[in-house]
């Protein structure tokens, strides 16, 4: 696979979203069609819950 | 309890796991829908995730002992060797025996879709690590 990296702004937004999720339980929103990163939110609607990432446990 | 060969397992599958997969697939592009295959006494979910600009192919295996034993997820797309990557490109997602809610698999609270979401977050970390050499999340205790 030819890896296409994130640009600086995209990478910063993704890092902030990952840390906000891990440290402050902020929800990561994903595009329903293709799972791409959309942003973050404090609350998630019933409709979004299946596509969003909130309290998923992980080791790392 | 066997997922496919016991009444409890089959009930779990029909009332929880398959409906949540259908809900996940609803409105999703065909390329990104979860496909479910039966292999022996296991179920394998095949799907794609795209946390950044790259599309990764994955499979999550629900063993006969699922949900007591957590799902196993591996990435089929070749990856560079990185933290939290096990043999066979399996993802290190759950810490067995952990007493922390944030790092352990809880069969009473989670479904197979949690494994997909955890894999998405792992791949998002990988996208960052690929360019910076730093895993963006600290390791859980």
* Radius of gyration of chain A from its Cα atoms, rounded to whole angstroms: 12
pLDDT tens-place string over residues A40-50: 988 777 766 66
pLDDT tens-place string over residues B27-58: 999 999 999 999 999 999 999 999 999 999 99
Q: Where are the domains of chain A?
A: 1-60
Checking if the pLDDT of B81 tops 60, the result is yes
Q: Where are the domains of chain B?
A: 7-132
Model confidence, pTM: 0.91
Residue position matching structure tokens 């790092």: B103
Q: What is the DSSP string of B60-101?
A: EEE-TTTTTSPPEEEE-S-----TTB-GGGBB----TT---G
Query: Cβ–Cβ contacts within 10 Å for residue A17, how many?
Result: 22
pLDDT tens-place string over residues B4-31: 889 999 999 999 999 999 999 999 999 9
Checking if the pLDDT of B80 tops 60, the result is yes
pLDDT-wise least confident of A50-59, B60-69, B124-133: A50-59
Closest CA to B36 of B116, B105, B108: B116
In B, minimum Cα distance to A23 occurs at B137
Are the C-beta atoms of B38 and B46 separated by less than 8 Å? no
Checking if the pLDDT of B131 tops 90, the result is yes
Instruction: Find out if CATH 3.30.310.50 is the number for domain B7-132.
Output: no
| Percent residues over pLDDT 90 in chain A | 53
Distance from CA of A43 to the nearest CA of B (A): 17
Distance from CA of B56 to the nearest CA of A (A): 9
Residue position matching structure tokens 């591996």: B74
Asked if the ipTM is above 0.95, the reply is: no
Using 50, 70 and 90 to split pLDDT, how confident is the model at B85?
very high
* Contact between chains at A57 and B135 (C-beta distance less than 8 A): no
What does the block give as tokens for B130? 């690929």
Are the C-beta atoms of B48 and B55 separated by less than 8 Å? yes
Q: Which of B32, B54, B98 sits opposite A33 (nearest CB)?
A: B32
Are the C-beta atoms of B113 and A38 separated by less than 8 Å? no
CB pairs under 8 A between A and B: 120
Q: What is the mean pLDDT of chain A?
A: 85
Count of helices and strands (H, E) across chain B: 3, 4
Give pLDDT, residue A50: 67
CB-side neighbour CA atoms (13 Å) of B124: 31
Using 50, 70 and 90 to split pLDDT, how confident is the model at B103?
low
> Which residues, 6+ apart, have CB-to-CB distance to B131 below 8 Å?
A5, A6, A11
Checking if the pLDDT of B141 tops 90, the result is no
Give pLDDT, residue A2: 87
Give the torsion sign (CA, B38, B40, B42, B47): negative
Residue position matching structure tokens 């440290």: A23
Distance from CA of B95 to the nearest CA of A (A): 5
Give pLDDT, residue B100: 58
Which residues of chain A neighbour B117 with C-beta distances below 8 Å? 53, 56
Which residues of chain B neighbour A32 with C-beta distances below 8 Å? 27-28
């Amino acid at each position: 696979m030819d890896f296409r990296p994130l640009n600086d702004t995209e990478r910063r937004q993704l890092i902030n979203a990952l840390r906000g999720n891990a440290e402050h339980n902020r929800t990561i929103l994903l595009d329903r069609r293709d799972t791409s990163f959309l942003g973050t939110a404090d609350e998630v609607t019933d409709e979004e819950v299946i596509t969003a990432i909130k309290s998923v446990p992980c080791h790392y | 309890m066997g997922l496919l060969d016991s009444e409890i397992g089959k009930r779990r599958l029909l009332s929880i796991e398959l409906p949540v997969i259908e809900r996940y697939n609803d409105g999703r592009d065909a390329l990104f829908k979860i496909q479910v295959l039966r292999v022996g006494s296991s179920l394998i979910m095949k799907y794609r995730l795209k946390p950044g600009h790259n599309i990764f192919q994955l499979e999550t295996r629900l063993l006969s002992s699922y949900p007591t034993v957590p799902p196993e997820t591996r990435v089929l797309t070749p990856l560079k060797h990185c933290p939290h990557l096990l043999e066979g490109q399996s993802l290190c997602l759950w810490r067995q025996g952990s007493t922390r809610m944030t790092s352990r698999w809880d069969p009473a609270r989670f479904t197979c879709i949690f494994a997909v979401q955890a894999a998405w977050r792992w791949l998002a970390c990988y996208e960052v690590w690929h360019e910076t050499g730093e895993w963006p999340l600290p390791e859980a205790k």
